[in-house]
Structure 1
Amino acid sequence: MDTKLQRSWMMYDWANSAFATTIMAAVFPIFYNSVAAANLSEGAATSYYSFTQSIAVLIVAVMAPILGAIADYSAAKMKFLRFFAYMGMAGSILLFTVNEGNYILASLLFIIASVGFSGGNVFYDAFLPHVTNKDDMDRVSTKAYAFGYIGGGILLAINLLMIMKYSWFGLPSSKEATQLAFVSVGLWWFIFSIPLFKNLKEEKVVNQGKRTKSYVAIGFSRIGETFKTLKHYKQLLIFIIAFWMFSDGISTIIRMATFYGATIGIGQNDLIAALLITQFVGIPCTLFFSKLAKWISAKKALTLALMVYVVIVILGYFMTSALHFYLLAVCVGTVQGGAQALSRSIFARMIPHNKHAEFFGFYGITSKFAAIIGPAVFGITAGLTDNSRLGILSLIVFFVIGIVLLQLVNIEKGEQEAKALEDQSDRVKVKAK
C-alpha cells in the first residue's frame, strides 16, 4: 500500500486530536466550571456540562448513518469530511469569545465544535479500508491513534505551559491564555489536515445508475436497507452491541474525567498535567497493542484493555487526591488508544467493501448514542445526589456487559459473512445489466 497516503491519513488523527485533548478532555471542562458557569452551583454546573455533552453527541448520532449512506452513494466522503472539519475548527476558535457567566454561549460553541469533530470522524474512519488492506488494518489503525496521542499531546503541553506561565507569553492572566489555547486548537487542526485533504483522492462511484431521488431520500433508503440486512451480519451485529456497551464507559471517562476531578477538589494544573501524562503514556502503549493483537489476536487484546478499564472505574470511585488522579491517568493512557484503535479495525474487517461509509455511520451512531447515555447518567446522578462518585461506579456495568458480548464474536466468521454478501451483491448487479 501507498505509505505516503497512509501517513497523510494518520496525520488527520494528529490534527484533530488537539480538540480531543485540549478542549474535550483537559482545558474546556475546567474553563466551563470556573469561568463560563462561575455563577452556577456545583450540581447545576455539572448538569449543564453533562447535558451539553449529550446534546452534542445526539446530533451526530442522528446525522451519522444518513451522512454515511449519502457519502457512499455520491463518493462525497472527502467533501463531508472537509465540511465537518472546518465546522470543528471554527467552533474551537470562537470559544475565544466566551467570558465569565457565558455558559450558554460556551455550550452552543462546544456543541458546534463537537459536531464538527465527531461528524468528521465518521468519514475519516470510513477511509481506513481505502488506505490499507485487511491484513494491515490493526497496525495502521493503532499507529494513527499513536499519531493522535503525539499531536494532541504536543499541543496540550504547549497550552499547559501557556496557561501556567501566562506572563512568559505576554498575557495578563490564565483566562486569556486559556482562550488563546482554544484558538490554537483550530489552527493546529487546519494546518495538519492539509496532507489528507491534498493527497487522498476518493474513487469515483461506478454502476450506481441514474439518480432519481434526492441524496437525503437515498440516505434514508439505504439506512433502511442496512437495518434489514444486518440480520445477515450476525457477528458484526453482536460486535456492534458489545461496542455500544463498552464505548459508553470509555467515552464517559474521556469526556467527564477532568470535570469529575475538578468537582472533588483536584487543582487545574494537576488535572491538565495528568491528562498530558495520559497522552504520552498512550503513544508507546497504543503501538504495543498493535503488536499484542498479532501475538494473541485483536479480540483478546481488546478484552484485556476493557478489563483494565474495570479496575480504573473502581479506583476512580475511591480517588481523593491529585496523586490518585495521576496514577489513573497512567492506567488510562495504557489502554485507551489500544481499545479504540482495535475496535475500529475489528469493525472494518467485518463490513462489506462497497458500504464503508454507511457501515461506519452505524459504527458512529453506536458510539454516539452510547456517549449520550453515560454523560446523561452522570449529570442526572450529580444533580439528584450532589455526588458524582456513584455515577463513576455505575460504568462497571457497561464494561462487564461489553466484555461478555465481545467473547461471543467470531471475527473470521464475520469477515466471511461480509464477503459472501458482497459477492452476492456483485452477482445481482451483473444480472441487472
Structure 2
Amino acid sequence: MTGIADLAPLERAKEQKAWYWYDWANSAYFTTVLSVMFAPYMIEVAGNAAGCPDDLPDGESCGNTVSLLGLDLAAGSLPFYLTSFATILSAFVLPVIGAVVDRSPHKKRHMAAFAWSGAAFASLLFFMKDDDWQIGAVAVVCSSVLAGCSLVSYSAILVDISTEEERDHVSSRGWAFGYLGGGVLLAINLGMYLGHEQIGLEEALAVRLSLLSAAVWWAGFTIIPFVRLRNRPPVDAVEVTGTVLDRSFGQLWRTLKELRGYPQTLTFLAAYLFFNDGIQTVIYAASTYGKETLGFGTSVLIGTILLIQFVAFGGALLFGRLAQRYGSYRPILYGLYVWIAIVVLAFLLPTKNVPLFLLVALAIGVVLGGTQALSRSFFSLLIPRGREGEYFALYNACERGTSWLGTFVFAVVFQLTDSYRPAILALIAFFAVGALILVRLDAARGIREAGNVVPRALACHDA
C-alpha cells in the first residue's frame, strides 16, 4: 500500500454544513427583531408613554421624550440609543469572552450557552406592550450583547473547520444560509401579521408573537450545530494569570497593543468599524425610515425586508464566486462604492413610491450578503493562529445588530433636525471613510504577517 485517501476534506465539509445552521438560527433574531419589528414597535410603545398622538400624518414623527437614566430622549430615537448602548457595552464584554474562547476546548458549548441565554432575553420582548417600553429596553440590550458573545465563538470555529482556500466559500455559504433562514421566518411572520384579523389577533399581539418566534427559532436551531460540531483543543493559546480584572480587561489592553504588530490587520479592523457601522445602521433604520419618512405601511416594509433577505442569499453566493476568482479584498472594496450610491438613492426617494423603494432594496440585498460574508472570511486570514477568539471579539464588537457610532449619529441627526432624511444621508460618511482606509491595505502582506497562507486567487490578482 502506497497511501491512504485523505478524508480530512470530507470531515471538514460535514462540520461546515453543521456550522451553517447557526447562521440560520441567529439570523431570525437579527431579521425579525432588529431589522423589522423592534424599532417601529418600540417607537410606538415609547410614544404611548411619551403622550404622542396616534393620528400623526404619514411622514411626520413625534418629538416627545421619555426619560432613560435621567436623560430625556425622543421616542423616535430611543431604539437607536439602545442599540448604541448595547455595542458600547459589548466593546468591554466581548474581548473578555474572546480570551476565554481561545483558551477553551469547548467553543461550541460557549456558543450555545450565549445563544440560549440571548434567546431567553429576546423572548421577554413579548411582554413589551401598551406603554411598558422598559422591559423591551432591557431585553434588546441584553439579547444583543449575548448574540455578540455567541458570534465570537461561532466565528472562531470557522478557522477550525476550514483552510485558507476554503474560507471565503464557507463564510459565504454560512451567510447565504442565514439569510435564507431569516427570510423563511420573516415570511411566516409576514403571513401572520397581514392576516392577524382573520386569525383573531390584534395587530400588536401579532408583532409580539413575531418577536417571540425569533427567540424560539434562535434557541431551537442552535441545537443542531451544538450536537454536530466537535470540540478541539486550543492552538498556541496564550495563558493569562492574575486577578479577574487582569484576565479580562487587562487582556483587552494586551490584544490592542499586540495589534500594532499587525498593521494590515489593524487597518482592516479600522475600515470595518466604519463601513460596518454604516451597513448595520442602514439595515436597522430601514423599516423606521420607510414608515416614518416614506409613508409605507408595515406590510410593505416587512415585504421589502423579506425581498432583501432572499436577494442577499444570492448576493452572498455571488460574492463568494467573485472571491474564488479575484480574492475577497476587491469585492469588499467595490461593494462599499455601491453602498454609497444606495444611501444617496435612499435620501432622494419620494414618499410612497413602491417601485423605486423596491429597486433600492434589490441593490441592498446584492451587496449586503456579499460584503458581510467576505469581510468575515477576509478578516479570519489576518488573525494569528490561536488568537481567533480575541480578534473576532473586537470584530464582533462592531458586528451586525450592535453598531454604535452609526446608530448614534442617526439618532442625534434626527433629534436635531426632526427628520430621518438628513439622518440617512449622514451615513455616507461611514462608507466613504471605510473605503478610504481600505484602499491603504496590502492584503497579501497582512495575511503573511499573520502567519497564514495567501489564497491562490488573491495572490494571483495581487501579483
> What residue is the counterpart of 1:27 in the other structure?
37
Structure 2 counterpart of 1:321, from 352, 356, 378: 352
- 1:310/1:211 CA distance change after superposition, 3 Å: closer
AA in 2 matched with 1:326? L
> What residue is the counterpart of 1:213 in the other structure?
242
> What residue is the counterpart of 1:262 in the other structure?
291
**Structure 2: unaligned runs, 5 residues or longer:** 1-8, 53-61, 64-73, 453-463
> What residue is the counterpart of 2:458 in the other structure?
none
Alpha-carbon distance in structure 2 between the residues aligned to 1:209 and 1:392 = 43
Alpha-carbon distance in structure 2 between the residues aligned to 1:250 and 1:123 = 22
Aligned-residue offset at 1:208: 6.2
Alpha-carbon distance in structure 1 between the residues aligned to 2:15 and 2:442 = 31
Within 5 Å, give how 1:134-283 maps onto structure 2: 134-168=164-198, 170-205=199-234, 212-214=241-243, 216-264=245-293, 265-283=295-313
Alpha-carbon distance in structure 2 between the residues aligned to 1:296 and 1:21 = 30
AA in 1 matched with 2:328? A
> Does the aligned pair in 1 maintain the 2:92–2:249 contact within 8 Å?
no
Within 5 Å, give how 1:89-108 maps onto structure 2: 89-108=119-138
**Structure 1: unaligned runs, 5 residues or longer:** 421-433
**CA RMSD, Structure 1 to Structure 2 (Å):** 2.1
Q: Counting helix residues as a fraction of each chain, which structure ranks higher? A: 1
CA deviation string 1:382-409 (max 9, x = no partner): 1121112111111111111211221121
> What residue is the counterpart of 1:428 in the other structure?
none
Alpha-carbon distance in structure 1 between the residues aligned to 2:135 and 2:401 = 24
What is the DSSP-based 3-state SS (H/G/I as helix, E as strand, rest coil) of the residue aligned with 2:232? coil
Alpha-carbon distance in structure 1 between the residues aligned to 2:205 and 2:94 = 35
Alpha-carbon distance in structure 2 between the residues aligned to 1:371 and 1:396 = 15
AA in 2 matched with 1:340? Q
Mean Cα displacement is larger for which, 10-19 or 410-419?
A: 410-419
- 1:364/1:266 CA distance change after superposition, 3 Å: same
Alpha-carbon distance in structure 2 between the residues aligned to 1:211 and 1:224 = 13
AA in 2 matched with 1:74? S
Alpha-carbon distance in structure 2 between the residues aligned to 1:180 and 1:398 = 35
> Does the aligned pair in 1 maintain the 2:105–2:234 contact within 8 Å?
yes
AA in 2 matched with 1:143? R
AA in 1 matched with 2:205? E
What number of residue pairs does the alignment pair up? 419
CA deviation string 1:400-419 (max 9, x = no partner): 12112211212211111111
Alpha-carbon distance in structure 2 between the residues aligned to 1:359 and 1:85 = 20
Aligned-residue offset at 1:111: 1.2
> Does the aligned pair in 2 maintain the 1:36–1:106 contact within 8 Å?
no
Alpha-carbon distance in structure 1 between the residues aligned to 2:239 and 2:39 = 49
- 1:208/1:398 CA distance change after superposition, 3 Å: closer
Within 5 Å, give how 1:62-81 maps onto structure 2: 62-81=92-111
Alpha-carbon distance in structure 2 between the residues aligned to 1:109 and 1:365 = 18
CA deviation string 1:139-169 (max 9, x = no partner): 100110000111000000000100110144x
Aligned-residue offset at 1:98: 1.2
AA in 2 matched with 1:34? E
> What residue is the counterpart of 2:146 in the other structure?
116
Are 1:10 and 2:40 an aligned pair? Answer: no
Aligned-residue offset at 1:122: 1.8
Aligned-residue offset at 1:221: 3.6
